[in-house]
Amino acid sequence: MDEGLSCIPDPGPADGPGRQAADAGKPLTLRVIEAEPAGKDTRRFRLVSAGGQRLPPAGAGSHINLLLPGGIIRSYSLLRGEPAPIEYAIAVRRETPGRGGSAFLHDQLSTGDQIEALPPQNGFPLVETAPHSVLIGGGIGVTPLIAMASRLRELGRPLTFHAAFRDEDHILLADELHSIGRVTIHLDSRDGGPFPIAAAIASAPADAHLYCCGPAAMIDAFIASAREQGRHESVLHHEYFAGARAALQEGSIIVELARTGRTIIVPPGKSILEAVREAGVPASSSCEQGTCGACETKVLAGVPDHFDAVLSPADRKSGKTMMICCSGALTERLVLDL
């Protein structure tokens, strides 16, 4: 990669007595019980277990990976976090141009259809014990924050929620935002420009945990402003809804694959992942934008140039691992555990 619905209709046997949770280690077969518009170029899907089981738990900030036709895997934040959910809900914005995932979900997935997904993962967890939480979302990046806000309300914890959109026509998930309440809506067209992140951070309590999800420029401004204002790294939480950046190479990278004993050349403009696959070496991946962590690979020698949105500052500094879908190298040669 969250639901503000005040009531959830019973989808049938999923909530029946004696039902057990699905095996969290296996792909899930889900059935679509709703596919409705949720804003400009955006659809909301509600998914239940096709077999009637309760679904694996999902904390606020979690996402699921949908297994789409053609081997496509795409990650989407859940609109609600629950310990024993009877359904998952996601919001999908059509990407133009895209790589096929959102187009399939918009054009071909309808109520009654089935789709497979991996159980929820959470790389953007909520600190439920924080004295105060400040949530800042841009566009479709509000989705995991809606789940967080709902959970904080359930716990009775103080929060501030800012949702930023280009203009009124681009407001997404209005029903969910309205049901949460206490959400400040920023419109660039009405309010004189992009959301004032620095001011929002400055006005936050000193002990607040700060969360941001949205486009790369928003995340970059969030991190820079928080650091400039002396906020500790431990209270900063962010998640890109698209890749942070693509690795920019001025020259080729020599990559040695330790397991296979092969050496490949990664030319400018191509990712290490692409070059590895073209060489016939299998490598795991999912989002291919540096946001999910599926392509994480051990670095045995050389210095990676990180452009992902997954690794912590300490992990990046160690240089022992990297996301090969988007990151490059600061040295001419890398040795990878592939």
How are beta strands 304-305 and 114-121 bridged, if at all?
unpaired
Domain ranges of the chain: 13-121, 133-240, 253-336
269: which 2 tokens?
């403009």
Q: Which residues contact 179 (CB under 8 A, 6 or more apart)?
A: 4, 5, 6
The structure tokens 């190298």 sit at: 329
pLDDT tens string 181-216? 889 999 999 999 999 999 999 999 999 999 999 988
* CATH class assigned to 133-240: alpha beta
Q: What is the pLDDT of residue 272?
A: 92
237: which 2 tokens?
């939480």
- Is residue 12 predicted with pLDDT exceeding 50? no
Q: What is the pLDDT of residue 332?
A: 85
Does 334 or 69 have the greater pLDDT score?
A: 334
Does 71 or 272 have the greater pLDDT score?
A: 272
Q: How buried is residue 292: exposed, middle or buried, by Cβ count under 10 Å (0-12/13-18/19+)?
A: buried
Q: Which residues contact 112 (CB under 8 A, 6 or more apart)?
A: 31, 32
What is the residue-averaged pLDDT of the chain?
86
The HSE-up count of residue 126 (CA atoms within 13 Å, CB side) is: 30
In whole angstroms, what is the distance from residue 259 CA to residue 283 CA? Answer: 12
Q: What is the mean pLDDT of residues 261-272?
A: 88
- Local confidence band at 23 (pLDDT 50, 70, 90 cut-offs): very low
Radius of gyration of the chain measured on its C-alpha atoms? 21
- Is residue 250 predicted with pLDDT exceeding 60? no
Assign a CATH topology to domain 253-336. Answer: Ubiquitin-like (UB roll) (3.10.20)
Q: φ, ψ for residue 56 (rounded to 5)?
A: -60, 150
How are beta strands 183-187 and 114-121 bridged, if at all?
unpaired
- Is residue 21 predicted with pLDDT exceeding 90? no
The structure tokens 């795409």 sit at: 74
Q: What is the pLDDT of residue 165?
A: 97
- Is residue 6 predicted with pLDDT exceeding 90? no
Q: What is the mean pLDDT of residues 141-158?
A: 96
Q: What is the pLDDT of residue 306?
A: 86
In whole angstroms, what is the distance from residue 240 CA to residue 292 CA? Answer: 10
Q: How buried is residue 107: exposed, middle or buried, by Cβ count under 10 Å (0-12/13-18/19+)?
A: exposed
Q: What is the pLDDT of residue 203?
A: 97
Q: What is the CATH number of domain 13-121?
A: 2.40.30.10
- Is residue 221 predicted with pLDDT exceeding 60? yes
Q: What is the mean pLDDT of residues 228-248?
A: 76
- Local confidence band at 311 (pLDDT 50, 70, 90 cut-offs): confident
